[in-house]
Amino acid sequence: MVTNSMTGKREEARTLTRAELQEAIYVSIPSLSRAEVKKTLEYFFEEVTEALVRDEPVKMRSFGKFNVRSKRERVGRNPKTGAEATVTPRKVLTFKASPALLARINDEKE
């Protein structure tokens, strides 16, 4: 939820979808067909996914870095009941935004 600064009403945060991303690229590069844009974007996501599956970090200049981190097995606790349970080892995806992206989000000059 996001609060609109003009009206003070709470609004649902908008999510950028894959289709909207494809349309934005298509509009900004008129020499490409919609099919070419879709194919290129699908290839991009597949390459990023495969690199992460291979435990390779994915670094995009002026955007950020995606990394896969391994978490070990540990004992966790159910916050409602207090019962202990074993949390199995797993991998998690992390993202660290670049300073350029953070500055842009915070509307700062670099």
9-55 pLDDT per residue, tens: 666 788 999 999 999 999 999 999 999 999 999 999 999 999 999 99
Q: Tell me what pLDDT residue 44 has.
A: 97
CATH code of residue 99 = 4.10.520.10
> Helix or strand or coil: residue 67?
strand
Please give the pLDDT value at position 7. Answer: 59
Residue 90 located in a structural domain: yes
DSSP 8-state symbol, 79: T
| Position with higher pLDDT, 7 vs 27 | 27
User: Total domain count for the chain?
Assistant: 2
pTM over 0.75: no
Residue 41 domain boundaries: 16-53
Do both 30 and 42 map to the same domain? Answer: yes
Residue 99 lies in a domain: yes
Note whether 62 and 108 are same-domain residues. Answer: yes
- Taking every pair of Cα atoms in the chain, the longest distance, rounded to a whole number of angstroms, is 60
Query: Is 66 in the same domain as 36?
Result: no
60 in the same domain as 21: no
